[in-house]
């Protein structure tokens, strides 16, 4: 079984629209939405939820005011300044480290496990899908990413499916690290802007840091052809597989508005044709390497 993760560093380069497009092209596959912070793939895939699970992340300190003697030790030890003078814990600042709980001489601090989201196994018109919803302003998104990917792997194994296509989050921090570790390959979606190049460079460094094979493609290449050419040269210089370039095409937005994949919306659009070729190249990369 292979798992490919689509990432970009910079947000809004078209990861999710491309993942949905690949879902129309791949066979014997599962979709996995690892962008749990701002999950969008379900807006195109319209999944029917078959199984739903609570995601429990960290713990949270809660002071029992009947037992608290206002001794101040917890406030002194808390490095997050999460405990107010009134000895109430700010749930947003609390890191869940439990130092206050451990040292409270009155055992006046409870430390319950928090439910910070949900994850789902679903069926869609194209393939099974595993996805999640992280509660607003919750933490532990990396842990939820790990949970979602594990669920997708178990499901793929159970159903005898050979490929998982994972939609990754933007950035290079905790949820991205959680979404690429152990992946067969990542596809980096760059855009031809100074920000796009800067962020692509960092996320490729991240993939190299964790030893995950990486390939590159450009979306909206014609918004700045000169920068797109630089991206190609960069790929060549660094021996990174270049999978293809997709033109700026409002068909992506129209497809999204109609909750369709690009191929379902208009398989003859210029972007669709480039995406088909891109997917073919990437599958070869995954099977044979660069």
Partner 1 sequence: MIISIASGKGGTGKTTVAVNLAACLGENAILLDCDVEEPNAHLFIEPEMRLSVPVTTPVPEIDENKCNLCGKCEEICQFKSIVIVAETVLTFPELCHSCGGCFLVCPEDAIHERPRELGVIKVGQKDGLEMVFGKLRIGEAMSPPLIKRVRGYESVDKVTIIDAPPGTSCPVIAAIKDADIVILVTEPTPFGLHDLKLAYGAVKKLGIPCGLVINRADLGDDKVKEFAGDSQIPILMEIPFDRKIAEIYSRGGLLVNEMGGMKGQFLDLYNKIRELVQSHSGSGL
Residues that bind partner 1 (CB under 8 A): 9-13, 16, 37-38, 40, 43, 58-59, 77, 79, 92, 95-99, 102-103, 134, 136-139, 141-142, 169-177, 191-196, 198-199, 202-203, 205-206, 209-210, 223-224, 227, 248, 250, 253, 256-257, 259
Least distance (Å) between residue 108 CB and partner 1: 17
Residues 6+ apart with CB under 8 A from 284: none
Please give the Cα distance from 146 to 139 (Å, whole number). Answer: 13
Which residue(s) pair with 131 in the sheet? 120
156 versus 214: smaller Cβ distance to partner 1:
214
CA 255 to centroid of chain Cα atoms: 21
Decide: 138 and 56 in contact? Cβ < 8 Å. no
131: nearest Cα among 114, 113, 108, 147? 147
Least distance (Å) between residue 271 CB and partner 1: 14
The DSSP secondary-structure symbol of 89 reads B
116: nearest Cα among 98, 143, 93? 143
End-to-end CA distance of the chain: 19
102 versus 280: smaller Cβ distance to partner 1:
102
27 versus 136: smaller Cβ distance to partner 1:
136
47 versus 196: smaller Cβ distance to partner 1:
196
Least distance (Å) between residue 170 CB and partner 1: 4
Q: 81 — alpha (psi -120 to 50), left (phi > 0) or beta? A: left
9: nearest Cα among 237, 153, 146, 195? 195
Least distance (Å) between residue 75 CB and partner 1: 14
141 versus 274: smaller Cβ distance to partner 1:
141
Segment (H or E) for 151: helix 141-159
Q: What is the CA radius of gyration of the chain?
A: 22
156 versus 256: smaller Cβ distance to partner 1:
256
Decide: 190 and 30 in contact? Cβ < 8 Å. no
193 versus 267: smaller Cβ distance to partner 1:
193
């Amino acid at each position: 079984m292979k798992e490919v993760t689509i990432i970009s560093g910079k947000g809004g380069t078209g990861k999710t629209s491309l993942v949905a497009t690949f879902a129309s092209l791949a066979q014997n596959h599962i979709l996995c939405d690892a962008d749990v912070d701002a999950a969008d793939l379900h807006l195109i895939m319209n999944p029917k939820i078959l199984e739903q699970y609570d995601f429990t992340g960290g713990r949270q300190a809660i002071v029992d005011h009947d037992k608290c003697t206002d001794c101040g030790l917890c406030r002194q030890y808390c490095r997050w300044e999460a405990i107010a003078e009134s000895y109430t814990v700010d749930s947003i600042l609390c890191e869940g480290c439990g130092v206050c709980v451990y040292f409270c001489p009155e055992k006046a601090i409870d430390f319950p496990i928090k439910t910070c989201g949900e994850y789902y196994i679903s069926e869609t018109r194209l393939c099974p899908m595993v996805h999640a919803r992280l509660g607003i302003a919750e933490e532990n998104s990396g842990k939820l990413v790990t949970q979602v990917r594990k669920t997708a792997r178990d499901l793929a194994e159970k159903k005898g499916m050979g490929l998982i296509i994972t939609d990754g989050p933007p950035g290079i921090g905790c949820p991205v690290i959680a979404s690429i570790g152990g992946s067969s390959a990542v596809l980096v979606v760059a855009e031809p802007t100074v920000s796009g190049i800067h962020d692509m460079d960092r996320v490729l460094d991240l993939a190299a840091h964790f030893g995950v094979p990486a390939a590159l493609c450009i979306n909206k290449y014609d918004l700045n052809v000169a920068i797109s050419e630089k991206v190609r040269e960069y790929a060549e210089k660094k021996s990174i597989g270049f999978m293809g370039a997709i033109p700026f095409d409002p068909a992506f937005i129209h497809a999204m508005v109609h909750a369709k994949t690009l191929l379902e919306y208009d398989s003859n659009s210029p972007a669709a044709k480039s995406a088909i070729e891109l997917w073919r190249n990437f599958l070869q990369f995954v099977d044979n390497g660069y």
